[in-house]
Amino acid sequence: MAKVPYLTELKAERRWSYRRRVPKHLQAVIGREMWDQRLSATTSLRAIEEWATAHRQVEEKISWANMMLRAGITQPSTHGIGHPSQSAPSLPSIVNPQDCYDALERWEQAQIWQAYMEISHSLVDTNPMSEAASRRGNLISQLERYRGYEAIEDFDQRLVDALATEGIALSPNHPVVRILRHTFSAAWVAVERFRSRMMSNPLAVEPPRNPSVQPQPQAASMLLNATDLAPNGEPFVTINSLVENYISDRKHPKKTAGKLRMLARYLNDLTGKDTPINEVTKSLLMELKLRARHLPARPRQNEKAMGFVALADHMNGLGDKRPKITDQTLENWFNLLGGCFNWAIDHDLIAANPTTSIKPRPKKQAAKTRDQFTSDDLRRIFAEPVRQRPSQFWLPLIAAYSGARLNEIGQLTRRDVESERIPHFKITDQTDEQGVIKRLKTHSSRREVPIHPKILEAGFLDFVQAGTHRYVFDDLPHPESEEDYEPTKAFSQWFGRYLTRAGVKTPRKSFHSFRHTFVTRALACQVPAKIVSILVGHETDPALMALMGSAMTERYAERPDLEVLAQQIRKLNYGDLYIHHWADMSRDAVFPAVQTHIT
């Protein structure tokens, strides 16, 4: 089990305990020096779940203790931590945040119902071009920005007023208000978006539930109402069930499947249950989006065990300076969920996609997302005389002189290397070899690329012919199934470390920089842009499009034959760049008799 802070295994008892020393400045307030809470779990996974609950409770106690200290209370209360005595009237009242979350949810439903009634009975101006409609659009735009509510002067007062309508009295400076801002912001957006939809097309909006009418309990034997059933006439499936069926039907790779299951866990963590898909509303997804912006981009192992809500709230109050989840990542999350719900619509599991119109829109990035390698960079990369594995020698060399993607090179089989007349690579995702699994980024990536003379001079054909494995680079972990397709992931990580050792690494330089370098050098060597476009496989990378212009998107009635491509690729040169011969490298390097995978 990964190390989790404050979680101690009691091996003699085969149990776990939450042990944590109380901060020294709070010991007088709390009245103890150490927490030692025995957990009931008998397995490590269950222990982590109970740890998350205990950790949240202790964090709450520490927050209350800090608040008492600021209020001037330095002795433990006779009523226990979190229950200050009456001798401190200036201390803020104790409020359970969960009660506030529930109250804001009731407020949202009440406001939506009120908007529905007002617009249905023409009690308000429904002109979509009115000044009020314009202000509403600006407000929604403002609230959807990261911490956009900070620009609204009376935001906290509005939050407090909303709670007051549900029977919870707070002052705007109460500590709990801070942790409710994102939830209230999401609720407010949901209300205003509903109002906008009603005004634009009231007949297309399904009437909301009247919050004043409590649902009547039904006998277990009674049939479900039509609104409780999916379009196929059956009860709604849960988000976990939907995700698993979607993964199974589409045969998603392991990485994509893992992200979908992660998102299902996050949604369930927000609702506290395995959520039926009809309860995955825009409001819930807005809360997911707002809370996710507090998550660290690279959470630590102990943070992963905390759960989505606990970690988001923890990071929100921590002031951590680490990079957070980006809008680009959130957009990818919503794309995955959108595809999942579209699949549900196609299978009559739900009527509408809740991700519509609320997907994050990241700011447009500059076209140049990767830097090219300079001549000095290339000399540093290819100067080191010893590599530990064949792939570490050949993959950078092939990429520099072909412009191929890392994955396209790593998955080459010996049948993909043609040595007759005009030696060339056959880059394809089609194969009749049993057990060989290949992928390409797009269909237009299928192509034949002549092998540059520099690669041949380094002994590549001799290396391929000497191999006995079906794959050219058998030291890479080639997949046995579609789900575990990641042959070059570890190599990419190694190459990043190699660039650092070579003094080349920057945030915008990676293995993919070979592709940009190839395009730039080929154009500089008078290779026509259309030929370069064919050689790299019609890439839609913005940086490559900026270099080659319209040639990237043109379709050709007749593609040049291999001889023409070979003549053009021979023009490519990197000046006085010295390339070692494979035979010299393999004599100097120590290769194991049985190749092991790159780690």
Q: pTM of this prediction? A: 0.49
Most confident listed range (229-233, 319-323, 416-420): 416-420
> Could you write out the DSSP letters of every residue in 160-193?
HHHHHHTT----TT-HHHHHHHHHHHHHHHHHHH
3-state secondary structure of 15: strand
Most confident listed range (73-82, 455-464, 483-492): 455-464
Question: Average pLDDT of the chain?
Answer: 79
DSSP 8-state code for residue 432: -
Asked if residues 52 and 63 have their Cβ atoms less than 8 Å apart, the reply is: no
DSSP-derived pairing of the beta strands 34-38 and 417-418: unpaired
For range 256-264, the mean pLDDT: 90
Asked if residues 156 and 172 have their Cβ atoms less than 8 Å apart, the reply is: yes
* Residues contacting residue 182 through CB under 8 Å, at least 6 positions apart: 287, 290, 291, 316
pLDDT tens string 336-348? 999 999 999 988 8
C-alpha count within 13 angstroms, C-beta hemisphere, residue 486: 15
Amino acid, single-letter form, for residue 288:
L
Say how far apart CA 100 and CA 597 lie, in whole Å.
53
Instruction: Give, to the nearest 10 degrees, the angle between helix 308-318 and helix 175-200.
Output: 120
pLDDT over 70 at 90, yes or no: no
DSSP 8-state code for residue 258: H
pLDDT tens string 152-192? 888 889 898 888 888 888 888 877 787 788 888 888 888 88
3-state secondary structure of 350: coil
SS3 content of the chain, % helix, strand, coil (to 5): 50, 5, 45
Nearest to 511 by CA among 394, 352, 598, 595: 394
